[in-house]
Amino acid sequence: FSATTMATRHRTFYRLAATILIAFLLTPPTAAQPPWQICGKSGNYAANDTYQSNIRQLSATLPKNASASRTLFATSSIGSLPNIAYALALCRGDGNASACEACVTTAFQDAQQLCAFNKDATVIYDPCYLRFSNQNFLATTSNDNIIVLKNTQSVSSPVDVFDAAVQTLLNATGDYAAANSSRRFATGEEGFDTTNPTIYGLVQCTPDMSPADCRSCLGDIITQMPQDLSGSIGGRLIGVRCNFRYEVVPFFSGSPTLRLPAPPAPPAPPPAPVNVTPTATPRGKSANNVLAIVLPIVAAILAITTVCLCYLRRRRRRQARSELPHDSTNHEDIDSIDSLIIDLSTLRGATSNFAEENKLGEGGFGAVYKGDLPDGQEIAVKRLSRNSGQGIGELKNELVLVAKLQHKNLVRLVGVCLQEHEKLLVFGKKKGARLGKEIEDNKWNCSRIAVSP
């Protein structure tokens, strides 16, 4: 070989070695270290036969084609049946062209050593993976030859919560990779908890897949995550057509494509029940305790009710007195009729709301109605007409006069009502007397209401 060729090969070797070393340092401990290989069962080839010659031709062209591609991806086939060989190479989307070429070149060499004389071989590194086969796997998007790699360390957080967070991150990143990336590649990070502040994820499909096929392929392997990688702080599923990886430490180059917020914290568990043994209480004491609580409450309610009723009664009396003229010269006379105030509702009930059939007569100043109080007492109610010329002052004087009159042949004043613009005098018959059918009502001369002995 020329000195120039040797120097080129040395540089290529050093770049590949550096790439593998960096990937090794960034990769958390797993069950094994790269390369990972899968040797198929489609037959073997012999040394220096046509199939081996075809593999060597692919190894000379495919690394360059993959590194030259904007998507760092290439497929090829060479030869004819029965010695035709198909090959696929895919480098990680965050890599560069030189590292991609070096990785695929080394992959061809390792595949022929790790799967010696096997016509179907797959080798996987962190920066790239390669498959060649005598079967036309390029004609399908089937995600064959899946490798599961699991970190040996487990999470300290609740497993189901961590697994759900990982699936959320991978699904969101998968959506982006399938729909928005020509490389069908995306990375993401998601906040989690204080022990594992961030979860990092990466997903990738071969760029020749449609968005729907890519998302379907990723969905299938992401669904396997809880089954194959549950509780592990890192892991990956790698197939020929799509793959994913997640870790709790950074492992990809550059800024993440997506950043997701931390999932909501799970609800706090309910407080543990307190075992309290109740103290047995004799029935008699329990009943006494209930009475000691209830009786004061009942007494307080009764007292409040009584006070309220008294207050309302006094308020009504004050309202009736306020309707009397303020120019009265004898307050003692006015006070003497406070006890005679009767509610308008009582008089309406007694006279059937001043029904026409209860009218005893009518004068110039209003009508007189018969009625019965709730206690059975027969009464006559003088109802001053609102249009009457009789003044309040004259009415007051007659109230004081009638209240003081006592005679065996006179009816007795038993009440007065001054509510809702009504002016009513209530008379009751004395024992042994009856109310006359005709009652003179002129000038509200209450003393002239006649009775028959």
Domains of the chain by residue range: 36-133, 147-260, 344-428
pLDDT band at 181 (very low <50, low <70, confident <90, very high): confident
- Among 3.40.50.2300, 3.40.720.10, 3.40.50.360, 3.30.430.20, name the CATH number for the domain at 36-133: 3.30.430.20
DSSP E strands in 265-355: the ranges are none
Q: Can you tell me the distance from the alpha carbon of 214 to that of 179, in angstroms, rounded to the nearest whole number?
A: 9
Query: Is 3.30.200.20 the CATH classification of the domain at 344-428?
Result: yes
Strand, helix or coil for residue 361:
strand
Q: Look at phi and psi of residue 446 and say left if phi exceeds 0, alpha if psi is from -120 to 50, else beta.
A: alpha
CB 390 within 8 A of CB 443: yes
pLDDT of residue 42 exceeding 50, the answer is: yes
The rounded percent of the chain whose pLDDT value lies above 90 is 50
Tokens coding 315: 């308020």
pLDDT of residue 14 exceeding 60, the answer is: no
Q: What is the mean pLDDT of residues 245-251?
A: 97
* pTM recorded for the entire structure: 0.54
Closest CA to 128 of 208, 60, 71, 170: 71
Assess whether the region 147-260 and the region 344-428 belong to the same CATH fold. no
Q: What is the pLDDT of residues 187-236, one digit of tens each?
A: 999 999 988 999 999 999 999 999 999 999 999 999 999 999 999 999 99
Known binding-site residues equal 382
Closest CA to 321 of 413, 412, 396, 394: 396
CB 256 within 8 A of CB 176: no
What is the overall mean pLDDT for the chain? 81
Placement of tokens 């919560």 in the chain: 161
CATH fold, domain 147-260, is Killer Toxin P4; Chain A (3.30.430)
**Could you give the C-alpha distances from 66 to 17, 73, 101, in angstroms and in order?**
19, 5, 7
pLDDT of residue 70 exceeding 80, the answer is: yes
pLDDT of residue 335 exceeding 60, the answer is: no
pLDDT band at 311 (very low <50, low <70, confident <90, very high): confident
Tell me: cis bond preceding 35? Omega within 30 of 0 counts: yes
Strand, helix or coil for residue 300:
helix
Known binding-site residues for ATP equal 382
